[in-house]
């Protein structure tokens, strides 16, 4: 025969249920070929490299086979899952041992066990029919009382044997029920793992979204600072414009018009200031909401880590139950052996009914001792079965608690998603307000440009008027040199006008100066004095964080993974390594 590659056997219960062997007798003859029949589950895809082997009961890996045959492939893969297939073993390769028990196992192309049959043994044809032969040549004479007593004892043993069979069937059904419950618990565990991975992805998306929101808030804060700088420059330009307008000699109509425009600009500046204050308050609220959401996210992470620890503990408990199930399977095999021993004892008892009375008593005592030992074994097996059932109930309750916790975590994630949607709407509204502010700033810049143009025009007109006045003074001085009294009176009149004109101009300049003295105020006078905040330092990593609050520092310190015994920072460790480190201190 061909040699097979060594491969580990998958001993999980779902793998055993994919191939079912049918019509397996308790014994096969050694002198004739044997045929085993089996059916495939829909989940198993057959391959040309699959094989069926004969294994001794108690095998541990797929390489412990005694002999094997390849599974014959079928032309229709879908029909192969509905029909009964068979494998034929030739008598030359069959085991020669009559005491050991064997079983069929279906091994796939990758070396995993997909099904196993009930145990059986190999016997000669003559040995199988030994129990039905009766020696007719022996004649034994006994009393009627002895015959009645032996019959009563035989009836009692038969009733006890029937009770043992009933208990064996009950144990077998309980074992099948436990196997189904373990299969369902494994399916629930797989669903739980998929839910946990889904929650991990959603939490990563939420973190990315929060980072984007932080970036947008930082950009808006920078934009607000830029707007404040622009307003400060506009304020200085307005003050310079007001000073130039007050110092220039212009007409009263133009001065009043410029003054009205300045007042209007002041009102618009106040409106912008109120809007900036409202926006600042809105930004502080958004920052507070963002910090609250980060705290909720950290709490969710802590709950998720606790769920992972619970899952690991349940997984370990599941492995313990699997080992217990394998032990129960071995116990069922031992029960089968006891059953066969009881049958052998019954057969011997029936054969020895005609033997002498003393031998019957000795054999009867041996049989009773064996029955007592069998009853003790059955009692211990019942107790172990009850313990396994209680462990399965505890495991089921833990799974229900874990499901409830997962449901709560999913609800919290949905709430955080809705909160993030609200934050997005608020950010959009803030961006719209910023666009409106940009439009207002552009309008103010245009108005400032118009005022600068008007100012330049007024300066040019003032220069022209000064030139004309100088010319007139030269003319009047030349006329005064002629000595005419009319010229003298006119020159005196002009002197009085020249003297009065500066007085009027200075008074006109002083009154608006007093009127506008306390109108304008800078943004620096409105801003509250900034106090120097102390720099906060983390007590674990000794990292300084300027500009954060104590609550934020506390959240940062709680985010560290610190050993409660040696206060070592274990952020780089995985959860299992961290738990081993803590348990090492407890030991």
Residues 538, 521 within the same domain:
no
Residues 323, 364 within the same domain:
yes
User: What is the spatial distance between Cα 317 and Cα 68, in angstroms, rounded to a whole number?
Assistant: 36
pLDDT at 532 over 70: no
Q: Identify each DSSP E strand in 279-423 by its residue range.
A: none
Nearest to 504 by CA among 252, 258, 253: 252
Give the pLDDT of residue 506: 43
User: What is the spatial distance between Cα 406 and Cα 215, in angstroms, rounded to a whole number?
Assistant: 31
Average pLDDT, the chain: 76
**CATH of residue 220:** 1.20.1270
Nearest to 296 by CA among 192, 198, 210: 210
Give percent of the chain with pLDDT exceeding 90: 11
Residues 258, 407 within the same domain:
yes
pLDDT per residue over 98-136, tens digit each?
889 999 999 999 999 999 999 999 987 655 554 444 344
pLDDT at 83 over 80: no
**CATH of residue 86:** 2.60.40.2840
Q: How many residues does the chain have?
A: 587
Please give the average per-residue pLDDT across 363-376, as a whole number.
76
Give the pLDDT of residue 505: 43
Residues 342, 478 within the same domain:
yes
Please give the average per-residue pLDDT across 371-384, as a whole number.
80
Residue 417: phi and psi, rounded to 5, are: -65, -45
In a domain, 464, yes or no: yes
In a domain, 148, yes or no: no
End-to-end CA distance of the chain: 55
User: What is the spatial distance between Cα 397 and Cα 412, in angstroms, rounded to a whole number?
Assistant: 23
Among 223-232, 252-261, 268-277, where is mean pLDDT lowest? 252-261
Give the pLDDT of residue 46: 87
User: What is the spatial distance between Cα 282 and Cα 264, in angstroms, rounded to a whole number?
Assistant: 27
Residue 566: phi and psi, rounded to 5, are: -105, 0
Beta bridge partners of 536: 545
DSSP state of 131: G
Residues 320, 254 within the same domain:
yes
Nearest to 62 by CA among 20, 101, 97, 114: 114
Nearest to 105 by CA among 138, 158, 62: 62
Q: Quote the tokens at residue 317.
A: 């408990």
Residues 291, 434 within the same domain:
yes
3-state secondary structure of 282: helix
Nearest to 341 by CA among 297, 373, 298: 373
Q: Quote the tokens at residue 157.
A: 């043993």
In a domain, 175, yes or no: no
Residue 9 half-sphere exposure toward CB, CA atoms < 13 A = 18
Burial class (CB in 10 A: 0-12, 13-18, 19+), 351: middle
User: What is the spatial distance between Cα 65 and Cα 111, in angstroms, rounded to a whole number?
Assistant: 12
What is the enclosing helix (H) or strand (E) of 530? none
Give the pLDDT of residue 497: 43
DSSP state of 137: T
Please give the average per-residue pLDDT across 4-12, as a whole number.
43
User: What is the spatial distance between Cα 66 and Cα 54, in angstroms, rounded to a whole number?
Assistant: 6
In a domain, 167, yes or no: no
- Rg from Cα positions in the chain: 51
User: What is the spatial distance between Cα 116 and Cα 106, in angstroms, rounded to a whole number?
Assistant: 6
Count H helices and E strands in the chain, helices first: 10, 11
User: What is the spatial distance between Cα 150 and Cα 61, in angstroms, rounded to a whole number?
Assistant: 48
Residues 341, 466 within the same domain:
yes
Residues 410, 446 within the same domain:
yes
User: What is the spatial distance between Cα 19 and Cα 149, in angstroms, rounded to a whole number?
Assistant: 50
User: What is the spatial distance between Cα 56 and Cα 102, in angstroms, rounded to a whole number?
Assistant: 4
In a domain, 3, yes or no: no
Give the pLDDT of residue 4: 42
536 near 550, Cβ under 8 Å? Answer: yes
User: What is the spatial distance between Cα 326 and Cα 448, in angstroms, rounded to a whole number?
Assistant: 91
In a domain, 371, yes or no: yes
Residues 216, 111 within the same domain:
no
Give the pLDDT of residue 516: 42
In a domain, 5, yes or no: no
Give the pLDDT of residue 406: 76
Contact residues for 182 (Cβ-Cβ < 8 A; gap 6+): 13, 318, 321, 322, 325, 392
Q: Quote the tokens at residue 580.
A: 């081993």
User: What is the spatial distance between Cα 325 and Cα 34, in angstroms, rounded to a whole number?
Assistant: 30
Confidence of residue 251 (pLDDT cuts 50, 70, 90): low
Nearest to 159 by CA among 378, 331, 377, 371: 371
Q: Quote the tokens at residue 408.
A: 């709560």
pLDDT at 316 over 60: yes
Residues 551, 412 within the same domain:
no
User: What is the spatial distance between Cα 164 and Cα 345, in angstroms, rounded to a whole number?
Assistant: 14
Nearest to 554 by CA among 212, 209, 294: 294
User: What is the spatial distance between Cα 59 and Cα 472, in angstroms, rounded to a whole number?
Assistant: 132
Quote the number of domains for the chain. 3
Residues 328, 387 within the same domain:
yes
Residue where a domain terminates, one of 482, 514, 529? 529
Confidence of residue 546 (pLDDT cuts 50, 70, 90): confident
Residue where a domain terminates, one of 106, 127, 148? 127
303 near 409, Cβ under 8 Å? Answer: yes
Exposure class string for 373-387: b at 16+ Cβ within 10 A, else e: ebeeebeebeeebee
In a domain, 65, yes or no: yes
Give percent of the chain with pLDDT exceeding 70: 78
103 near 25, Cβ under 8 Å? Answer: no
Burial class (CB in 10 A: 0-12, 13-18, 19+), 166: exposed
Give the pLDDT of residue 57: 92
Beta bridge partners of 104: 54
pLDDT at 154 over 60: yes
Residues 523, 557 within the same domain:
no
Confidence of residue 254 (pLDDT cuts 50, 70, 90): low
Give the pLDDT of residue 106: 94
The residue segments making up the domain with residue 42 are: 13-127
Beta bridge partners of 544: 537
Residue where a domain terminates, one of 529, 549, 571? 529
3-state secondary structure of 103: strand
Nearest to 490 by CA among 505, 473, 503: 473
Nearest to 38 by CA among 131, 127, 126, 104: 104
Among 102-111, 123-132, 357-366, 465-474, where is mean pLDDT lowest? 123-132
């Amino acid at each position: 025969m061909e040699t097979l590659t060594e491969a580990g056997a998958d001993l999980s219960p779902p793998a055993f249920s994919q191939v079912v062997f049918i019509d397996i007798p308790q014994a096969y003859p050694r002198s004739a070929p044997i045929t085993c029949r089996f059916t495939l589950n829909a989940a198993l895809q057959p391959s040309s490299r699959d094989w069926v082997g004969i294994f001794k009961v108690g095998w541990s890996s797929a390489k412990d086979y005694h002999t094997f045959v390849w599974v014959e492939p079928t032309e229709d893969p879908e029909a192969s899952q509905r029909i009964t297939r068979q494998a034929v073993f030739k008598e030359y390769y069959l085991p020669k041992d009559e005491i050991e028990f064997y079983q069929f196992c279906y091994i796939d192309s990758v070396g995993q066990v997909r099904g196993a049959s009930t145990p059986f043994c190999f016997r000669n044809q003559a040995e199988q029919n030994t129990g039905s032969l009766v020696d007719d040549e022996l004649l034994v004479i006994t009393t009627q009382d002895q015959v009645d007593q032996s019959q009563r004892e035989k009836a009692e043993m038969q009733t006890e044997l029937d009770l043992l069979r009933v208990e064996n069937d009950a144990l077998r059904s309980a074992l099948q029920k436990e196997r189904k419950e373990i299969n369902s618990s494994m399916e629930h565990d797989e669903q739980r793992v998929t839910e946990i991975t889904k929650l991990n992805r959603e939490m990563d998306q939420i973190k990315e979204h929060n980072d984007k929101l932080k970036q947008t808030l930082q950009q808006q804060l920078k934009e607000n600072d830029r707007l404040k700088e622009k307003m400060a420059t506009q304020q200085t330009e307005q003050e310079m414009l007001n000073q130039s307008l007050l110092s220039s000699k212009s007409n009263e109509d133009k001065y009043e018009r410029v003054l009205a425009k300045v007042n209007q600009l002041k009102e618009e500046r106040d409106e912008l200031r109120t809007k900036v204050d409202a926006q600042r308050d809105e930004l502080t609220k958004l920052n507070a909401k963002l910090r609250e959401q980060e705290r909720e996210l950290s709490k969710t992470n802590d709950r998720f880590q606790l769920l992972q620890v619970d899952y690991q503990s349940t997984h370990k408990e599941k492995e313990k139950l699997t080992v217990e199930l394998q032990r129960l399977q071995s116990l069922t095999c031992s029960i089968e052996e006891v059953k066969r021993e009881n049958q052998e004892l019954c057969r011997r008892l029936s054969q020895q009914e005609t033997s002498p009375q003393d031998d019957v008593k000795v054999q009867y005592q041996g049989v009773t001792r064996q029955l007592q030992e069998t009853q003790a074994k059955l009692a211990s097996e019942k107790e172990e079965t009850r313990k396994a059932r209680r462990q399965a109930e505890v495991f089921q309750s833990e799974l229900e608690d874990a499901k409830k916790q997962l449901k709560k975590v999913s609800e919290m994630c949905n709430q955080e998603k809705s909160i993030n949607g609200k934050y997005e709407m608020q950010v959009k509204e803030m961006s719209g307000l910023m666009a409106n502010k940009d439009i207002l700033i552009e309008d103010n810049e245009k108005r400032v440009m118009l005022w600068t143009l008007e100012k330049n025009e007024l300066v040019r007109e003032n220069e022209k008027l000064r030139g004309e006045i100088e010319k007139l003074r030269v003319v009047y001085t030349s006329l005064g040199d002629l000595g005419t009294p009319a010229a003298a009176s006119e020159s005196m009149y002009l002197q009085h006008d020249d003297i009065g004109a500066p007085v009027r101009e200075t008074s006109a300049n002083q009154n608006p100066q007093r009127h506008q003295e306390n109108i304008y105020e800078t943004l620096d006078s409105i801003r509250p004095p900034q106090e120097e905040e102390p720099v906060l330092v983390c007590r674990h990593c000794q990292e300084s964080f300027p500009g954060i609050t104590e609550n934020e520092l506390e959240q940062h310190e709680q985010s560290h993974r610190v050993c409660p015994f040696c206060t070592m920072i274990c952020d780089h460790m995985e959860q299992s390594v961290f738990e081993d480190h803590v348990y090492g201190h407890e030991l």
